[in-house]
Structure 1
Amino acid sequence: MIMRFLVVIFFITFSIQSQQVKVLELGVDFPIENVTIYNETKETIVYTDKYGIADLSVFKESDIISFYHIGFFEYEILKRELGEIEFVVHLVKKSEQLDEIVLSASKGNEKRSRIAEQIAVASEIDIKKLAPQTSADLLANLPGIKVQKTQFGGGSPVLRGMEANRVLLVVDGVRMNNAIYRMGHLQNSITVSPNIIDRTEVIFGPSSVVYGSDALGGVIHYFTKTPKTSLNNEVKGEIFSRYSSVNNEITTQANVELQFKKWASFTSVSYSDFGDLRMGKSRNHGFKEWGKVYEYSNNTDTYYNTNPVQNENPTLQKNTGFKQTDILQKFAIPFSKNTDFTLNLQYSTSSNIPRFDNLTQYSDGSLKFAEWYYGPQQRLLVSPQLKINPSKKWLDYGTITLAYQNIKESRVQRKFTSLDRSYRDEQVDVFSLNGDFFVPLTNDNSRIFSYGIEATHNNVNSEAIGKVLDIYNNTVVGFTDEFTVQSRYPDGGSTYTSAAAYVNYRQDISEKSTLNTGVRFINTHLTAKWIDDTFITLPNMGISLSNSSLTATIGYIFKPTLDWQINGIVSSGFRSPNIDDIGKIREKNGDVTVPNIYLKPEYAYNFETSAIKYFNHKKFHIGLDVYYTLLHNYITRDYYEMDGSSTIIYDGEEANTMANVNKGNAYIYGSTFSFKGNFNPMWYTKGSITYTKGMAYDTKNRLSSIPPLFGMLELGFEKKRFQVGVNWVFNGEKTLETYNLVEGIDNLEETPYNPLLDTYYGTPSWNIFNLNANYKVNNNVSLFVNIDNIFDIHYKEFASAISAPGRNFSASLLLNI
């Protein structure tokens, strides 16, 4: 009797264990977490836990089971055959993801081999290896992207000679661009911490009709980390910490993921403390004093000093440090077999961020500003999202995304020798709705029809006030009076509303060719009202403007052989002026930008072709992308008369008036050559070089935001737990003749000064070497070490006010709990 009982217990135990599978990385036997395991119909799906284990009891013995993870080659096996490999599956790590799934191009999963656009991708692994301090630093490491910095607490990405409100930023399917995204340089990309990003995708050019307005230069899409449900109740945690020597940065990020059968949660809190930034000391460019900071203002909200302070170390850029906190909370709830719900909550805030370029500006031989800083940059996002899979003829699957965003920013300034401090505060409330739906027309997905809608509404509130400081023993004890200050945007309030619809069609014409087509219709409506006419009186103090456009794209992919892919795209883009374009008032270097209520939309017509050649069974590839973009009715900043006058009294000084105006036609053309892959299982390399040129047909002026030749080359070694790489980053010279001398966007005054000619040289060329290494101690502990700018070179990125970081030692620790 006892023997029978033991036999029964043995078979029950064996049956339970045989329902579990362990998934390991081949060669090192580390468990692989979040492997997707599914059957042929994809009706049954489970995921591995942090130990690489998954319960397969929901599958039939006759099921063909697939094991999928983006970093490994997919593996298939009959469930009943798992016993032959002792229920342990080893996955082979992908040395190169050349045909990976791209999420942003069509807002659905699509193979890169079916996409004609130029695309750059940074995975979570790439982000950890790079150890970027901000998301702007992350973008600067992607091919074809140049990042401008006015101050350290910022970063304005440039795509194909376009930046700021001509580049669309998206986070988790929600557009970040709002009604006050400006021309010139935009620092908002840093409000998404790299520590919460799971993946970043960049689409170059205006060809994607699923995004529409603002995407003239391209789309940058951040995908943040998302929790997954599990049949087993699990709690997982992660702690990441980094120290960087160049600015004494300390970053700590902690997250916890709760996985249950019916719901999951992911919580992340990240805090960064950035000190003042040290520049490089090796001046190969020959300009011994360029960029050095000999004096600075130590004035604060509460401390008053009538004189600048001498800087004991001129290579330390005082007034560049800041602090930032980022919080991410996501809930995932599978309502049913065909419906998944996600609630996405994000909050980002910072300390005051000093405006470095203005705090180093001189007037009559003395520092001009005692105070000039951005108040805390705050971004709140609340976004419920519903993924549906009804499998209807008119709707197979789709995503509905609602969002509310609240953005707050402010500017505070005061000049030396003055007690007058001005405050300008902006708040934007953004409501949006996106619906993206897909209908496969064939069982093998060779023909897919997709369609979608997008609606946004921006409400902008802009206020300004001046206060006279009350000082006692160098302490600000209060205010003695108030005075009128011109608001940055219409003080009576303004709104910006858009509504759009699109359709897309993709067909595999044959095994060798694919056609992508799409059209999008968009309508925008803007209202603005000015009340205070102390400084400026407009022809109309209240305006209401509407614009609409139909844009289209057609892309063709041809693969004559397994090792070649040739792409061609013809597309159009549209950008309707927003509140910042039409209604902004601000001063820079003695020029005041004033409203232009007659501003019209600008259009882009894009033509591009690219070729990709694969080698060694697609483990290595080279690619060349060439494009030409025609800008029609383009918007530029130019000198402007208001009420018959070309000057205005602003903040107590006479200044020239400028405005955003429409011109005729301009062009931008360029190319990016890139390569990436493995020589063998241990050695890898990647690199790129980008050339851009832009000029106006009508005025013959150079366009702003056109970077010089730039690129990078990396060589790396990877074996089991260890990886090390060395990269060379280079940037060509941008001479005075290639600058736009009217708009003032490219900060020519931040380049070396030539006293003999009483002008500026332009940006010198530079190149630096960096090293990155990481070691996976075990499945729970990983170490990362970076040495950036090894030879401590002094340089400035094109159009940047702040000098780039000098030699930097960075060490990071990642703990999985």
Structure 2
Amino acid sequence: MRKIAIALLANVAGLWVHAQETVSDSALKELSEVVISASKFPEKKLNVAQRIDVISSKYISRVNAQNTGDLLINTGNVFVQKSQQGGSSPVIRGFEASRVLLVVDGVRLNNLIYRSGHLQNAITVDQNMLSSMEVLYGPASTIYGSDALGGVVHFRTKDPVLSTNNTTLVKGSGFARYSSANNEKTIHEDINLGWKKFAWLQSYTYSDFGDMKMGANYPSAYPTFGRRDSFVTRMNGIDTVLKNANPQVQKFSGYKQWDILQKLLFKQSDNVTHILNVQYSNTTNVPRYDRLQDKRNGTLRFAEWYYGPQERLLTAYELRIAKAGRFDNINLNLNYQEIEESRYTRDYRRYDRLDGRVENVNVAGFVLDSRKIWNNNELTIGIDGQYNTLQSTASRVNINTGASTKLDTRYPNGKNNQLNAGLFAQHVHKFKNKKLMLNDGLRVQTSRLLSTITDNSFFNLPFTKIEQKNTTVTGNVGLVYLPASGSKLSVNIASGFRAPNVDDLAKIFESSTAARQVVVPNNNIKPERTYNIDLGISQNIGKNIRIEASTFYTWFRNALVKAPYRLNGQDSILYNGVLSQVLANSNANKAYLFGVSGAVYATVANYITFSSQINFTRGRFQTDNTKNSSVYEKQANGSYALVSKKVSSKPLDHIPPVFGKTSISYQKEKLFAEIFALYNGWKKLDQYNADGEDNAQYATADGMPGWVTFNLRTSYSFKPVTLQFSIENIFDRNYRYFASGFSAPGRNFILAVRVEF
């Protein structure tokens, strides 16, 4: 804790942050960078009331992260949960998974099976082909519709580049990277061919991640925390528990992934551009590492638990028109996605039941945006829609005989579809004094869902059809005040919503093996709503220091939480051969979240810059204090136990502990070097949500310990080659991120060679 306190003090007491500029850029310059996510069209960050981070391609390559989750961690402003190496679930302002909207090139990635737990879908976007990544903090439903409760992560891939003369433009890049902690081997190449009117861009990335090795420097009070002492393997066809020769190696956490991107650009005229965008991502089987640690009757429960290949295919056509009649800009995007996800589980020595559940999702969508600029006004008007379909199948296979039998599906086994359609307007007015700007907007959205159960023999649910129709109105209004050069004050009020999807309404799954809980459908839930207020300030102090600060408060209504439920009059049922408590999604009456963030940026000396940021979030939902609620309570021996007691409120799940980053960097000509610390505070067990997704079973008896890691990152360029060398977690600290069942890398040496031509 002393190390964490020292790191936090480096933030400078009382400085609470607004939007950061990435360390790779000058944080002291005017907030003039262009952002697109906030209004769909280019707009200066200076004019936007909502808090936004802009992460540049230069910073992305400098961080040299394994995936987009690790890239977000390195900003110091986004918390990321991990259940396995092949996963990264961003948390923004205490909202996670289906309550955070993921967007790539203007296309929503969230679909009708995005769950409220932890998602790994963010890693299907190749960070090596991003021109930028924008993070919007707080509700963004006016622009993006459902799911943008906590914020938006918008990935923008690079566009093909045209030639400016009669010569064919040939340019490209590539790199090879090795990481020691997981024996990672990644190669990447991209090439751009450009002519006067046509340009073609193609890229490939392949990664081979071995088993991750955790740190050997354990917290003094928890000398065996996270150790992988044993594992299950098959020997002569028999499941056998073996002792792990090196308990720091997280056996069966490795996997492989490949990403392909192709873009074709045709510039019809100076004002009309067409782009065809194809993206493909796939993996090998991805072991669900946290579940491979679960025990039953003192023995490892699962012989196998893995996600099947996670496949994502996106095809999109984009039309960009400038000066189109009365509009200054019109953009049209027509897109189609195919997603396949699957889960395979087999209990120890149950050769007769390899259970496989496969989900095939198809999404057709469109987005039509237009912008009109007149006098001191900018008006964006848009309409968008997505039609989701799902086919859910399941089977149980005897691995010895190959015989296959029926199995209950994760989602209803009949028709599953959801239609979302919305109309919005976003407006910016710049007052004549050029010091005051108004942001305001409004959206009307409708959502329709149908889910049917063809075979109801497994659970005999009291219904076989779920239908929902919801119409929601959301809006935002904000003011930006620029009292002087280098100063910005902002206030923003916004509402957000999330329409229930098939995962919310109809899923059946095992919530916790430790507590023996199963979640069943509940067709009587409403859309979640948030109402949020933000206050922000950024200020230059002289020529060398900049401070930024923000605070927010969110009223969360109809919050979906897992609560005790009765199925056919029973509070427990047999599931996977175990008597399990029945839970179901229910709308909690009220919940609230608030938080503060802070940062300081400074030029310390020639070529040396300093930056530091810190983030604090808290959230609770109110309960009926006449009823019992599940909470963790400290016992006389100092440990915590799951109990039921009458309480008026309890913690929301997904709320991260205090976290941040402090960095000192040096850059002169060809050489760059950075020393930085990443840190998380304690998450005590009494602040865990006992019925949610906080995964107390993967923490210590007291919760998740705080930690700090020290890291070194360097690069040297001699065109066209750049050499990169990093040491992460220099002191080999053993730690986990809150709610994670997978330990972070120990001391990790990373070497990369990049080439541009």
2:434 partner letter: E
Residue 532 of structure 2: which of 606, 630, 638 is its match? Answer: 606
Residue 242 of structure 2: which of 289, 292, 309 is its match? Answer: 309
**Contact 1:171/1:222 (<8 A) preserved:** yes
1:461 partner letter: Q
Q: Deviations over 1:371-400 (max 9, x none)?
A: 11000000000000000113422x111211
**Contact 2:234/2:240 (<8 A) preserved:** no
- Determine the structure 1 residue equivalent to 2:10: none
Aligned mates of 1:489, 1:269 — CA distance in 2: 34
Aligned mates of 2:585, 2:387 — CA distance in 1: 23
- In structure 2, stretches of 5+ residues that fail to align are 1-20, 624-647
Aligned mates of 2:279, 2:654 — CA distance in 1: 31
- Determine the structure 2 residue equivalent to 1:52: none
Structure 1 residues 675, 212: closer, same or farther in 2, change over 3 A? farther
Please state if 1:574 is matched with 2:514.
no
Structure 1 residues 311, 186: closer, same or farther in 2, change over 3 A? same
Q: Residue 307 of structure 1: SS of its match in structure 2?
A: strand
**Contact 1:781/1:814 (<8 A) preserved:** yes
**Contact 1:200/1:221 (<8 A) preserved:** yes
1:767 partner letter: V
**Contact 2:188/2:206 (<8 A) preserved:** yes
Aligned mates of 2:130, 2:39 — CA distance in 1: 20
- Determine the structure 2 residue equivalent to 1:484: 406
Residue 172 of structure 1: which of 82, 100, 105 is its match? Answer: 105
**Contact 2:100/2:149 (<8 A) preserved:** yes
Q: Deviations over 1:242-298 (max 9, x none)?
A: 000000000000111001111001100000000000000111342111100011123
Which sits farther off after the overlay, 719-728 or 619-628? 619-628
Q: Residue 317 of structure 1: SS of its match in structure 2?
A: coil
- Determine the structure 1 residue equivalent to 2:694: 746
TM-score, normalised by the number of residues in structure 2: 0.91
Structure 1 residues 542, 93: closer, same or farther in 2, change over 3 A? closer
Please state if 1:376 is matched with 2:289.
no
Matches within 5 A, 1:113-262: 113-207=46-140, 209-230=142-163, 231=165, 232-262=167-197
**Contact 2:214/2:745 (<8 A) preserved:** yes
Structure 1 residues 202, 638: closer, same or farther in 2, change over 3 A? same
1:409 partner letter: E
Aligned mates of 1:284, 1:524 — CA distance in 2: 48
2:729 partner letter: N
2:722 partner letter: S
2:385 partner letter: A
Q: Residue 569 of structure 2: SS of its match in structure 1?
A: coil
Structure 1 residues 93, 152: closer, same or farther in 2, change over 3 A? closer
**Contact 1:491/1:532 (<8 A) preserved:** yes
- Determine the structure 1 residue equivalent to 2:349: 417
- Determine the structure 2 residue equivalent to 1:634: 559
Which sits farther off after the overlay, 210-219 or 644-653? 644-653
**Contact 1:167/1:219 (<8 A) preserved:** yes
Aligned mates of 1:332, 1:93 — CA distance in 2: 32
Please state if 1:533 is matched with 2:456.
yes
Residue 547 of structure 1: which of 470, 479, 483 is its match? Answer: 470
Q: Deviations over 1:118-151 (max 9, x none)?
A: 1112111111111110111111112421000001
Aligned mates of 2:82, 2:478 — CA distance in 1: 34
Q: Residue 580 of structure 1: SS of its match in structure 2?
A: helix
Aligned mates of 1:433, 1:355 — CA distance in 2: 34
Matches within 5 A, 1:387-406: 387-393=320-326, 395-406=327-338
Aligned mates of 1:788, 1:508 — CA distance in 2: 45
**Contact 2:588/2:622 (<8 A) preserved:** no
Aligned mates of 1:227, 1:776 — CA distance in 2: 25
Deviation at 1:208, TM superposition (A): 5.3
Aligned mates of 1:207, 1:196 — CA distance in 2: 25
2:381 partner letter: Y
**Contact 2:28/2:601 (<8 A) preserved:** no
- Determine the structure 1 residue equivalent to 2:487: 564
Structure 1 residues 286, 456: closer, same or farther in 2, change over 3 A? same
1:366 partner letter: T
Report runs of 4+ in structure 1 exceeding 6 Å deviation. 92-95
2:382 partner letter: G
Aligned mates of 1:722, 1:270 — CA distance in 2: 26
Percent same amino acid at aligned positions? 37
- Determine the structure 2 residue equivalent to 1:769: 710
Aligned mates of 2:206, 2:411 — CA distance in 1: 32
Deviation at 1:93, TM superposition (A): 9.3
Deviation at 1:97, TM superposition (A): 7.0
Please state if 1:701 is matched with 2:650.
yes
Q: Deviations over 1:215-266 (max 9, x none)?
A: 0000000011111111231212211110000000000001110011110011
Aligned mates of 1:540, 1:221 — CA distance in 2: 38
Q: Rg larger in 1 or in 2?
A: 1
- Determine the structure 2 residue equivalent to 1:451: 381
Residue 656 of structure 1: which of 568, 581, 585 is its match? Answer: 581
Structure 1 residues 261, 94: closer, same or farther in 2, change over 3 A? farther
Residue 665 of structure 2: which of 688, 702, 716 is its match? Answer: 716
- Determine the structure 1 residue equivalent to 2:745: 805
Matches within 5 A, 1:32-181: 98-181=31-114
Q: Residue 323 of structure 2: SS of its match in structure 1?
A: coil
- Point out which structure has higher relative CO (alpha carbons under 8 A, 6+ apart): 2
TM-score, normalised by the number of residues in structure 1: 0.84
- Determine the structure 2 residue equivalent to 1:757: none
- Determine the structure 1 residue equivalent to 2:609: 684
Q: Residue 187 of structure 2: SS of its match in structure 1?
A: strand
Q: Residue 701 of structure 1: SS of its match in structure 2?
A: strand
Deviation at 1:681, TM superposition (A): 4.5
**Contact 2:141/2:147 (<8 A) preserved:** no
Which sits farther off after the overlay, 678-687 or 349-358? 678-687
- In structure 1, stretches of 5+ residues that fail to align are 1-69, 72-91, 471-477, 753-759
**Contact 1:349/1:378 (<8 A) preserved:** yes
**Contact 1:105/1:208 (<8 A) preserved:** no
Q: Deviations over 1:85-123 (max 9, x none)?
A: xxxxxxx99985742111211111111110111111211
Deviation at 1:210, TM superposition (A): 0.9
Residue 673 of structure 1: which of 582, 586, 598 is its match? Answer: 598
Which sits farther off after the overlay, 696-705 or 371-380? 696-705
Aligned mates of 2:141, 2:303 — CA distance in 1: 45
2:528 partner letter: E
Aligned mates of 2:74, 2:389 — CA distance in 1: 35
**Contact 1:280/1:806 (<8 A) preserved:** yes
**Contact 2:89/2:122 (<8 A) preserved:** yes
Deviation at 1:191, TM superposition (A): 0.5
Aligned mates of 2:589, 2:28 — CA distance in 1: 48
1:345 partner letter: V
Aligned mates of 2:539, 2:691 — CA distance in 1: 42
Aligned mates of 1:620, 1:403 — CA distance in 2: 45
Q: Residue 291 of structure 2: SS of its match in structure 1?
A: helix
Deviation at 1:482, TM superposition (A): 2.5
Aligned mates of 2:563, 2:577 — CA distance in 1: 23
2:556 partner letter: L
2:407 partner letter: V
Q: Residue 144 of structure 2: SS of its match in structure 1?
A: coil
- Determine the structure 2 residue equivalent to 1:407: 339
Please state if 1:511 is matched with 2:443.
no
**Contact 2:446/2:470 (<8 A) preserved:** yes
Aligned mates of 1:208, 1:639 — CA distance in 2: 30
Aligned mates of 1:767, 1:786 — CA distance in 2: 17
**Contact 2:75/2:661 (<8 A) preserved:** no
- Determine the structure 2 residue equivalent to 1:788: 728
Matches within 5 A, 1:282-431: 282-299=217-234, 304-393=237-326, 395-419=327-351, 420-431=353-364
Q: Residue 128 of structure 1: SS of its match in structure 2?
A: helix
- Determine the structure 1 residue equivalent to 2:677: 728
1:435 partner letter: L
Deviation at 1:483, TM superposition (A): 2.5
Aligned mates of 1:682, 1:693 — CA distance in 2: 38
